[in-house]
A and B are shown apart, each in its own frame.
Chain A
Amino acid sequence: MYNTSLRIVNHTGDAEDVMQEAFTDAFRSLEDFHYKSTFGAWLKRIVINKSINQLRKRKMDLIDIEKTNIGNVAEEDGPNEEELQLKIEDIKKAVALLPNGYRTVLTLYLFEGYDQEEVAEILGVSHATVRTQYMRAKKKLLQYIKLGVL
Chain B
Amino acid sequence: MSRLEQFVRDHREDFDGEEPDNKIWEKIRMEMTPQKKKQGVLVRLGRAGWAAAAAAAVLVAVGSVWYFTSRTPAAAPSVVIRQIPDTTPAVATTGGSEIKPAATVDSSKTVNQPTIASIRPKEKNESPAKVEQVENSMDEEMYHYARLVEIKQTQLKAIEKDEPLLYRQFAADVNKLDSVYHSLQSQLPKNPNREQLLEAMLQNLQLQMGLLNHQLDIIKQINHSKKTAYEEAHKTA
Which A residues lie at the B interface, using CB under 8 A?
2-3, 6-7, 12, 15-16, 19-20, 23-24, 27-28, 81-82, 84, 86, 88, 91-92, 110-111, 138, 141-142
Contact = CB atoms under 8 A, between A and B. Distances in A.
Contacts of B32: 24, 27
Nearest to A25: B31
Contacts of A110: 4-5, 8
Report the 7 A-B pairs with minimum CB-CB distance, sorted nearest first.
A3-B16, A2-B20, A86-B7, A16-B24, A24-B31, A88-B14, A23-B28
Given A86-B4, A86-B7, A20 B28 contact: yes
Interface in B81-124: none
13 contacts: A2-B18, A2-B19, A2-B20, A3-B15, A3-B16, A16-B20, A16-B24, A28-B35, A81-B3, A91-B7, A110-B8, A111-B15, A138-B2
B20 A19 contact: yes
Interface string B9-24: 0011011111111001
B27 interface: yes
Nearest to B21: A16
Contact of B3 (A16, A86, A92, A111): A86
A88 B15 contact: yes
Report whether over half of chain B's contact residues are helix, strand or loop; otherwise say mixed.
helix
B4 A141 contact: yes
A58 B35 CA distance: 31
Interface residues of B, number: 22
Given A81-B4, A88-B11, A91-B15, 10 more contacts: A2-B19, A3-B15, A12-B21, A19-B28, A20-B24, A23-B28, A27-B35, A82-B3, A91-B4, A91-B8
B113 to A, nearest CB: 47
B57 to A, nearest CB: 28
Contacts of A24: 28, 31-32
Contacts of A12: 18, 20-21
A111 B20 contact: no
Contacts of B20: 2, 12, 15-16, 19
B1 to A, nearest CB: 11
B15 A81 contact: no
A137 to B, nearest CB: 11
A111 B32 CA distance: 30
Contact of A20 (B3, B7, B11, B31): B31
Contacts of B28: 19-20, 23-24
